[in-house]
Amino acid sequence: MAGTLYLEDLAPGARFTSAEHALDAAQIVDFAKRFDPQPFHLDAEAAKSTFFQGLAASGWHTAAITMRLLVESGLPLADGVIGSGGEIQWPRPTRPGDVLHVESEVVEVIPSRSRPERGMVVVKSETLNQHGEVCQRLTTKLVVSRRPAS
Amino acid sequence: MAGTLYLEDLAPGARFTSAEHALDAAQIVDFAKRFDPQPFHLDAEAAKSTFFQGLAASGWHTAAITMRLLVESGLPLADGVIGSGGEIQWPRPTRPGDVLHVESEVVEVIPSRSRPERGMVVVKSETLNQHGEVCQRLTTKLVVSRRPAS
């Protein structure tokens, strides 16, 4: 893992920006076939007459891309990005041709009382397209390790 | 889509149970390579010394499998399963060999004031393994159509 940050390196207000991911129709359809086989995620023509009025990525695909961006560049934690859960919103569809990146901010750092070697960190992550529009809002509680004694 | 249910067919307390999905290590590693490339999702040996103490599926993989189960059998909505967001928790890891199914319950039905043709439905979905243990809790707000005038 590329990250170097431990619990004591994080404070509310710390911000991180990920690399970019370019999404295309083939990726959207591939994910949908595996996990969300509905017309508006599978077929551009069939999607026109649906709620989405055109091909849109599964929200869970947007979430999965967001996770990859966080793991590889967006949240450089030494022991990895381990979430226990969170809140997710998709205020607008993710579309073919979108170029996504993730902007994250630390909201809260909560040392564990029972587990001195780690704590919880609340992080808000927005997944934005190339127009700066928010396609996903995610607030997660992450398990983050303290720096091991050297 | 196989579903037949519209907004007026749903009421708080209505329950639905999906088919099952058998998860194995190959699926866990395949998803992780695509979307969550961290040692505890990629390699059983490397996973032993991590927080998860063994190979575990990405939480987003559990979410994606849950979506497939909901779409194909777990939530038979006529116009599909369209979520605007929700809350998600992973109280325990999903492991190789787990056989998952989803149990859902309608919590609230909210007709739209501005859009008479549809409404929002709040659904709680638990993803359980073969031991009846909850691997994921998901509460989603779904966009659900009213039955079209015939």
Interface test with A, best of B7, B61, B71, B117 (most A CBs within 10 A): B71
pTM above 0.95, yes or no: yes
Inter-chain CB proximity B80 and A50 less than 8 Å: yes
Optimal mutation site among A82, A136, A143, interface B, most CBs of chain B within 10 A: A82
As a residue count, chain A comes to 150
Cβ–Cβ below 8 Å for B81 and A38: yes
Question: Does residue B15 carry a pLDDT above 70?
Answer: yes
Contact at CB, A85 and B87, closer than 8 angstroms: yes
Mean pLDDT in residue range B51-73: 97
Q: Which of A60, A72, A83 sits opposite B64 (nearest CB)?
A: A60
**Mean pLDDT value of segment B18-34:** 98
Q: At B64, which helix (H) or strand (E)? A: helix B59-69
Q: Taking Cα atoms as reference points, which of A46, A48, A88 lies closest to residue A65?
A: A88
pLDDT > 70: percent of chain B: 99
- Count Cβ–Cβ pairs < 8 Å, chain A vs chain B: 98
Q: Picking from A113-117, B97-101, B106-110, which range would have the lowest pLDDT averaged per residue?
A: A113-117
B71 with A40: Cβ contact below 8 A? no
The whole-angstrom separation of Cα B127 and Cα B105 is 12
pLDDT at residue A10, as a whole number: 97
Residue B73 — very low, low, confident or very high, per pLDDT cuts 50/70/90? very high
ipTM above 0.85, yes or no: yes
Residue B145 confidence (pLDDT) above 60: yes
Q: Which residues in chain A (7-66) have CB-CB distances under 8 A to chain B? A: 31, 34-40, 50-51, 58-60, 63-65
Question: Domain coordinates of chain B in residue numbers?
Answer: 7-145
Strand partners, B122: B108, B141
**Given this model, what pLDDT does residue A2 score?**
65
Mean local confidence (pLDDT), B47-70? 97
Q: What is the pLDDT of residue A149?
A: 83
> CA angle at residue B109 from B104 to B112, to 5 degrees?
135
Q: What is the pLDDT of residues A75-132, one digit of tens each?
A: 999 999 999 999 999 999 999 999 999 999 999 999 999 998 999 999 999 999 999 9
Which pLDDT score is estimated for A3?
Answer: 86
Torsion sign, CA atoms B95, B96, B101, B104? positive
Confidence of residue A48 (pLDDT cuts 50, 70, 90): very high
Q: What is the rounded average pLDDT of the residues A8-30? A: 98
Q: What mean pLDDT do residues B68-82 have? A: 95
Nearest neighbour of B60 by CB, restricted to A50, A67, A137: A67
pLDDT over 70, % of chain A: 99
Residues B140, B86 contacting (CB under 8 angstroms): yes
Identify all chain A residues contacting B63, using CB atoms and an 8 Å cutoff. 60, 63
Residue B84 contacts A, CB cutoff 8 Å: yes
**CA–CA gap between residue B93 and residue B105 (Å, rounded):** 23
In DSSP terms, which residues pair with A104 in a beta bridge? A16, A125
Name the minimum distance, in Å, from the CA of A89 to any CA of chain B.
4
For B80, the token pair is: 């599909």
* Residue A41 backbone phi and psi in degrees, to 5: -110, -10
CATH of B7-145, one of 3.40.50.1980, 2.40.10.10, 3.10.129.10, 3.20.20.70: 3.10.129.10
Asked if residue A1 has pLDDT above 80, the reply is no
Shortest distance between the Cα of B13 and any Cα of chain A, in A, equals: 23
CB atoms within 10 A of CB A138: 24
Strand order through the sheet with A83-89: A15-22, A99-111, A118-128, A134-145, A83-89, B83-89, B134-145, B118-128, B99-111, B15-22
B2 — pLDDT class (breaks 50, 70, 90):
low
